[in-house]
């Protein structure tokens, strides 16, 4: 395994372990519209439909609105489909692919592996926002290759960069703390790297 794949795997494992985007059976209404936001990475729209297409029992939910699923009394069925072994497998595979893209965005900006993983765990919200957030902090002279400093930047400032306002400030601060705690205690298995 090369470094890119190892970091992508670590990002995916971190997203799942911390539950920052939700569990395998997570379903909520998207803040952007009347459609479901699903799974461990809160996939929605075409990306959510793509995930559902890989799950046999998930295909019936493709293209449906959140309110339609609720009105039909099928929310728990969708949760069960997502948490099934096939649903979990599809989510892990989709997340692995997403995390390779996150590693590609972050590796040119960050040299510390734990910092790449930390920032990668935030990428499901928007890898473009995370990239600009980091670029602006680098320009400002912040040490984004120190895990504690990076976590404090996310804790104090990311809600502004994401444009979500005060309503999400505490939630993002909690996410920053929990993600830091996970990574501060986490050991990366470097033995899997090709030498």
- Domain assignment of residue 195, yes or no: no
- Tell me the whole-structure pTM to 2 decimals: 0.90
Q: For residue 33, is it within any domain?
A: yes
- Determine contact, residues 82/117, Cβ cutoff 8 Å: no
The predicted pLDDT at position 173 comes to 96
Question: What is the tally of structural domains in the chain?
Answer: 1
Q: How far apart are CA 111 and CA 134, in angstroms?
A: 12
Angle between helix 127-139 and 85-106 (nearest 10): 30
Q: Residue 164's pLDDT is what?
A: 83
Half-sphere exposure of 177 (CA within 13 A, CB side): 7
177 in a structural domain: yes
Expressed as residue numbers, the domain containing 42 is: 3-190
Q: Assess if residue 167 is contained within a domain.
A: yes
Per-residue pLDDT of the chain (195 residues; tens, 9 = 90+): 899 999 999 999 999 999 999 999 999 999 889 999 999 999 999 999 999 999 999 999 999 999 999 999 999 999 999 999 999 999 999 999 999 999 999 999 999 999 999 999 999 989 999 999 999 999 999 999 999 999 999 999 999 998 888 888 999 999 999 999 999 999 999 999 986
> Is residue 148 one of the residues assigned to a domain?
yes
What does the alpha-carbon distance between residue 151 and residue 177 come to, in Å, rounded to a whole number? Answer: 7
């Amino acid at each position: 395994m090369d470094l890119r794949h190892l970091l992508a795997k670590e990002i995916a494992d971190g997203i799942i372990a911390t539950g920052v985007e939700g569990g395998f059976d997570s379903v909520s209404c998207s803040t952007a519209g009347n459609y479901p936001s699903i799974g461990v990475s809160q996939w929605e729209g075409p990306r959510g439909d793509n995930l559902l297409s890989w799950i046999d029992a998930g295909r019936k939910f493709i293209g449906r609105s959140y309110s339609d699923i609720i009105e039909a009394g099928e929310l728990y069925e969708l949760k069960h489909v997502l948490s099934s072994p096939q649903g979990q497998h599809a989510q892990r595979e989709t997340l692995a692919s997403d995390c390779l893209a996150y590693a590609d965005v972050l590796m040119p900006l960050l040299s510390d592996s734990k910092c790449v993983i930390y920032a990668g765990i935030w990428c499901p919200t928007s890898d473009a926002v995370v990239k600009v957030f980091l670029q602006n902090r680098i320009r400002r002279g912040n040490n984004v290759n120190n895990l504690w400093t990076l976590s404090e930047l996310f804790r104090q400032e990311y809600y502004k960069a994401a444009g979500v306002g005060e309503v999400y400030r505490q939630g993002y601060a909690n996410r920053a703390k929990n993600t830091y705690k996970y990574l501060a205690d986490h050991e990366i298995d470097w033995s899997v790297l090709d030498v």
